[in-house]
Structure formats: structure tokens, C-alpha cells
């Protein structure tokens, strides 16, 4: 038996949706698992995830990585999702998305990324649960991907232990707007919900050009968010072709990826 699974990139936090909101993107990692005894790398995240359901020693693994690593696009979440889904298939199990999330959190640690990689679309997570609010977002994601990498632990360490009450109130209100925007597909609410004072002001140092783009949005863009821990930023566009073209002109040394939010999560091919 050969198992072929793919899992999408993700963009998490979505402005005011810090540690809660994530969306699946049409950039895919894959794994092919063959039913033949091998010597799998026991430290590989995907193999460790696979072992949650099935014995990896009975199989050989071939991973294809297309998602840039340590760029804030959920590469580790995608690999964990690949292993979980492939392992479940190998074991003949049919776990729910919540059950897969519970098995994978020990390895991934970021529920917002992993939820979107598993369930697809735009997801919110809380207390180990996933709710998928929408198949897509009111604006298209255009990713500006610098060459430098960001360590997630270092980026999280830049966050303060407390924030001013006014900033907390501001972000709570914007988070409510974000949820409403996603549920209704409302672009004006989405633009408001993309604003944040809880994490992005502190993480901007790890995301080159975030402030620059935010203060000078390309025509046809609604807003900009830091993707995961950075350094990638997502420019949310209602005119994606024009926005991507302008960003390529501004930042010729970066990868500018014109993406879309996809309804599909990790699953067999």
C-alpha cells in the first residue's frame, strides 16, 4: 500500500486573531509513505507525528517540502499534519480534526497553524477545539517573503508580559470584528480586524517592511498582517494582481507570492 498525503501552508494570527486564527494557503508539502520496512528518521517531525497512529518502522517515507522554513508560513505545522493524516490512514483510523489537533499539539505547539493545516479554510481554535468559519477570506493573501529566517521562540520572547489596558481593549474589539468579517465575508470589517496592538507592534522588528507597507498600503490592499512569527508579511488585497505587481517592484530581492486561501486541509492525494 502506498499513501500519498498533502498539507497546506498556513498564515496564523491574522492581525487581532493572535494565537487563535489561521488560514490554509495554496502552497503544499507532500509525503509518500510506502508499505515497506525502512529506517525512518525518528527525529523527523512528520515521522514522529505518524507514530501517533502507526509504527513507522514498517514504512518508508519521502517528503516534499515546498513551504519555506522558518518564514512564518506554517512549515512545521504542515509536516506534522502530513504525519498525522498518513499515520491515521495507515492504521485504518478516522480521527476527527479535534482529535488530530490534540495528537499534534505536543509536536507543533501552535494550534492556530495546525488547525488550519488540518481542516483547511479559515479556522479559529480554543481549548483544543477547531471551528472552521469560512472557506476563504474577504481579500486575497499576497505574501512578501524575505530571505532571513525567524526562530519562533525568539519572536515570542519579544512579546511583553503585559500590555496597556487601552491596547487590550482595542485588540479585543478588533478580534470581534475579525470573527464577524470571516463569518460574513465582509471586506470592510476584515480590514478593521487586521489591525492589532497585542503582538504585531513587538514582532515588527522580526518582519522587515511590515511597518513600511502598513503605512503605505498598495492601492487595492485592505491591510497587512505578520504571518505567524514572521518574517513573512501578508498583504490582503482586493486587487491581487496589481498589489502583487507593486510589491515586486518595491521589493525585488524578496519572494512575492500571490496565493489564495483554500478550503482543503491535509488529506490524501
**Model confidence at 71, in pLDDT bands (50, 70, 90)?**
very high
**Model confidence at 156, in pLDDT bands (50, 70, 90)?**
confident
Residue pointed to by grid coordinates 517592484: 249
**pLDDT at residue number 191:** 93
Q: Which three cell numbers stand for residue 26?
A: 495554496
**Is pLDDT at 155 greater than 80 in this prediction?**
no
Q: Which three cell numbers stand for residue 116?
A: 488550519
**Is pLDDT at 151 greater than 80 in this prediction?**
no
The rounded Cα 37 to chain-centroid distance in angstroms is 33
pTM of the model as a whole? 0.94
Nearest to 101 by CA among 121, 79, 116: 116
CA angle 79, 81, 87 (to 5 degrees): 105
**Model confidence at 37, in pLDDT bands (50, 70, 90)?**
confident
What proportion of the chain, given as a percentage, has pLDDT over 90? Answer: 87
Across residues 150-165, what is the average pLDDT? Answer: 83
**pLDDT at residue number 110:** 85
DSSP state of 15: T
Across residues 63-80, what is the average pLDDT? Answer: 96
Question: If you average pLDDT over each of 13-22, 46-55, 187-196, which comes out highest?
Answer: 46-55
**Is pLDDT at 254 greater than 80 in this prediction?**
yes
d(CA 256, CA 252): 9
Across residues 144-173, what is the average pLDDT? Answer: 88
The counts of H helices and E strands in the chain are 10, 10
N- to C-terminal Cα distance for the chain?
14
Amino acid at each position: 500500500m502506498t499513501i500519498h498525503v498533502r498539507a497546506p501552508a498556513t498564515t496564523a494570527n491574522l492581525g487581532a486573531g493572535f494565537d487563535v486564527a489561521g488560514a490554509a494557503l495554496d502552497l503544499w508539502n507532500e509525503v509518500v509513505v510506502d508499505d515497506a520496512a525502512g529506517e525512518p528518521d525518528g527525529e523527523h517531525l512528520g515521522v514522529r507525528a505518524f507514530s501517533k497512529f502507526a509504527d513507522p518502522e514498517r514504512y518508508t517515507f519521502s517528503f516534499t517540502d515546498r513551504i519555506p522554513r522558518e518564514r512564518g508560513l506554517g512549515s512545521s505545522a504542515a509536516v506534522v499534519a502530513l504525519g498525522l493524516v498518513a499515520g491515521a490512514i495507515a492504521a485504518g483510523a478516522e480521527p476527527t480534526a479535534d482529535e488530530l489537533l490534540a495528537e499534534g499539539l505536543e509536536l507543533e505547539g501552535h494550534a492556530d497553524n495546525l488547525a488550519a493545516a488540518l481542516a483547511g479554510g479559515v479556522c479559529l481554535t480554543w481549548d483544543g477545539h477547531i471551528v472552521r468559519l469560512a472557506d476563504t477570506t474577504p481579500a486575497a493573501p499576497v505574501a512578501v517573503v524575505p530571505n532571513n529566517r525567524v526562530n519562533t521562540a525568539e519572536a515570542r520572547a519579544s512579546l511583553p508580559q503585559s500590555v496597556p489596558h487601552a491596547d487590550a481593549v482595542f485588540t479585543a474589539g478588533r478580534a470581534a470584528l475579525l470573527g464577524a468579517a470571516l463569518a460574513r465575508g465582509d471586506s470592510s470589517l476584515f480590514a478593521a480586524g487586521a489591525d492589532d496592538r497585542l503582538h504585531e507592534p513587538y514582532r515588527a522588528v522580526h518582519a522587515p517592511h511590515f511597518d513600511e507597507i502598513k503605512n503605505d498600503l498598495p492601492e487595492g490592499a485592505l491591510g497587512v498582517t505578520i504571518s505567524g512569527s514572521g518574517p513573512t508579511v501578508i498583504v490582503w488585497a482586493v486587487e491581487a494582481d496589481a498589489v502583487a505587481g507593486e510589491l515586486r517592484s518595491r521589493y525585488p530581492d524578496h519572494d512575492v507570492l500571490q496565493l489564495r486561501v483554500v478550503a482543503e486541509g491535509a488529506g490524501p492525494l
